[in-house]
């Protein structure tokens, strides 16, 4: 069979497998249960909380639960203790937030010398949350010029079949694509279903990674769904090196990469990254096997951020699956509420703060969300302390395009398998594919 050179999707950090993996369960789990099933309240509304702790699926009577509450990712405004009754429950209440946002209820149970912690984020009119960041007047001009300059760089590419990683069901390739400036490359892994007929055009999905420095491998599970999958890295380094190389980079030149060069919009790390995502699409549509009318982006965390950014910059993207996007409303801390990963402005006294805030506006996911025009399937949890819901809602609320949001209230920086499955099914429906 002819080797196909195609691509596709963006999921989360290290693939579908990692999304399906669940966090380990604590021996003792303290719980703060809101009296509203959806965990959502009107501004100013009193919140009634039922506290309990579960050990081996049994509620614990006569147990002290320490609790605190306050604005998400900020210092608590109240701390206290409550003792569960003979049925294993205690009840507290607190006044609601005065404006749209989230309040975090933290809980702690000490048992046999070990502290067990829990949290619940309660939303106050979250669909009314507005971003703190603002759109620069020359935002579109800046990115138009950046991409025009990048487009002049020849798209020199190399695609190498991997015998070791290919299977009977999928061919796997390592790809290298020149991008942004001569000598700068985007590297990734391409997975192509082997049952693709010669001359057939398949839907393609660019898969964008979470925040990491690591190797990538194939075949990508999403190819089983009928897609060609291209999973790219963002650091301009090959993705099939020994683990020791990536570990050295994490501890060396790529330590804290998400804040490197933020003193200027022209030196910030993500300028090259954003342009590289568009170049990956250039390569994608150049393949004769790709249906250019069925191209999607898919990712979570940093990958969710890059999904929104790429779909805003490039109208060749027709659909998006985005989980808990990063870099949303990063100036939130400057305004007294949670900002998105990487939590740049939590320390308001850092050097060059004014310059960094000004530069961040050209990269904030919120400002790209304003330009999204394609349908999207979004999902995140209220208890995400990495990409906080205050930040993700601030991006979601400015999107003026068909959008679906699935909330997994008690999940943190992960999703239940059912939400992953629903996102894939939604995407297949967008492209007229059978489930």
* Domains of the chain, start order: 16-20+130-430 (3.40.50.1820), 28-128 (2.60.40.1930)
> Is 2 a residue whose pLDDT tops 50?
no
At residue 197, the pLDDT reads 79
The confidence score (pLDDT) of residue 206 equals 98
Expressed in angstroms, the distance from the first to the final Cα of the chain is: 26
What confidence score (pLDDT) does residue 8 get?
Answer: 32
| The pLDDT value given to residue 347 | 76
> What value does the mean pLDDT of the chain take?
92
Between 24 and 321, the higher pLDDT residue: 321
Please state the rounded mean pLDDT for residues 189-213. 91
162-179: average pLDDT: 95
Q: Is residue 368 predicted with pLDDT exceeding 50?
A: yes
Note the pLDDT tens digit of each residue in 111-120: 999 999 999 9
| Residue 301 annotated among the catalytic residues of the structure | yes
Please report, for residues 150, 175, 210, 387, the alpha-carbon distance to residue 166 in angstroms, rounded to integers and kept in the order given. Answer: 32, 14, 24, 35
pLDDT of residue 305: 98
Q: Give the angle 240-242-245 at the CA atoms, nearest 5°.
A: 105
Supply the pLDDT for residue 359: 97
From the list 150, 166, 179, 301, the catalytic residue is 301
135-162 pLDDT, tens digit each: 999 999 999 999 999 999 999 999 999 9
Measured in whole angstroms, how far is the alpha carbon of residue 20 from the centre of its chain? 15
Q: What is the pLDDT of residues 26-85, one digit of tens each?
A: 999 999 999 999 999 999 999 999 999 999 999 999 999 999 999 999 999 999 999 999
Output the pTM of the full model: 0.93
Q: Which of 166, 384, 394, 411 is catalytic?
A: 384
Burial, 183: exposed, middle or buried (Cβ in 10 Å; 0-12, 13-18, 19+)?
A: exposed
List Cβ neighbours of 173 (8 Å cut-off, separation of 6 or more). 3, 5, 159, 160, 161, 162, 189, 190, 191, 192, 218
The token duo for 259 is 């804040």
Q: Which helix (H) or strand (E) holds 286?
A: helix 269-286
- The pLDDT value given to residue 55: 96
Q: Are strands 64-71 and 58-59 parallel, antiparallel or unpaired?
A: unpaired
Residue 16: pLDDT over 50 = no
Does 4 have pLDDT greater than 60?
A: no
User: What's the whole-number mean pLDDT along residues 286-294?
Assistant: 90
Q: How much is the pLDDT for 50? A: 98
| Options 179, 221, 235, 413, the catalytic residue | 413
Q: What share of the chain has pLDDT > 90, as a percent?
A: 87
Residues β-bridged to residue 128 = none
């Amino acid at each position: 069979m002819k080797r196909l050179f195609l691509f596709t999707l963006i999921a989360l950090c290290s693939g579908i497998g990692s999304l399906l993996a669940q966090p380990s369960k604590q021996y003792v789990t303290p719980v703060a249960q809101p009296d509203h099933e959806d965990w959502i309240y009107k501004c100013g509304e009193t919140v009634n909380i039922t506290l309990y702790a579960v050990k081996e699926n049994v509620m614990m009577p006569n147990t002290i639960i320490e609790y605190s509450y306050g604005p998400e990712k900020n210092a608590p405004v109240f701390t206290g203790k409550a003792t569960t009754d003979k049925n294993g429950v205690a009840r507290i209440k607190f006044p609601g937030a005065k404006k749209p946002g989230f309040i975090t209820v933290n809980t702690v149970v000490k048992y046999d010398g070990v502290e067990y912690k829990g949290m619940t984020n309660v939303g106050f009119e979250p669909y009314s949350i507005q971003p703190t960041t603002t759109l620069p007047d020359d935002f579109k001009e800046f990115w138009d010029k950046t991409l025009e300059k990048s487009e002049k760089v020849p798209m020199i590419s190399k695609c190498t079949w991997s015998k070791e990683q290919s299977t009977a069901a999928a061919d796997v390739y390592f790809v290298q694509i020149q991008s942004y400036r001569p000598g700068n490359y985007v590297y990734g892994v391409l997975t192509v279903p082997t049952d693709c007929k010669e001359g057939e055009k398949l839907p393609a999905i660019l898969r964008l990674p979470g925040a990491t420095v690591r190797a990538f491998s194939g075949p990508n599970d999403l190819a089983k769904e009928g897609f060609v999958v291209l999973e790219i890295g963002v650091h301009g380094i090959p993705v099939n090196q020994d683990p020791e190389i990536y570990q050295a980079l994490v501890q060396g030149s790529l330590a804290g990469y998400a804040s490197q060069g933020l003193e200027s919009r022209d030196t910030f790390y993500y300028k090259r990254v954003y342009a590289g995502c568009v170049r990956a699409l250039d390569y994608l549509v150049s393949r004769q096997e790709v249906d250019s009318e069925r191209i999607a982006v898919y990712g979570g965390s940093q990958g969710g951020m890059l999904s929104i950014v790429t779909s805003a910059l490039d109208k060749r993207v027709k659909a998006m699956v985005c989980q808990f996007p990063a870099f949303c409303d990063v100036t939130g801390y400057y305004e007294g509420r949670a900002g998105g990963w990487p939590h740049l402005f939590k320390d308001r006294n850092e050097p060059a703060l004014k310059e960094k805030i000004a530069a961040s506006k050209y990269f904030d996911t919120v400002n790209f969300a304003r330009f999204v025009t394609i349908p999207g399937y979004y999902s995140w949890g209220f208890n995400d302390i990495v990409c906080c819901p205050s930040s993700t809602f601030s991006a979601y609320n400015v999107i003026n395009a068909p959008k679906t949001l699935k909330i997994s209230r008690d999940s943190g920086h992960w999703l239940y398998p059912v939400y992953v499955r629903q996102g894939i099914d939604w995407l297949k429906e967008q492209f007229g594919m059978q489930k």
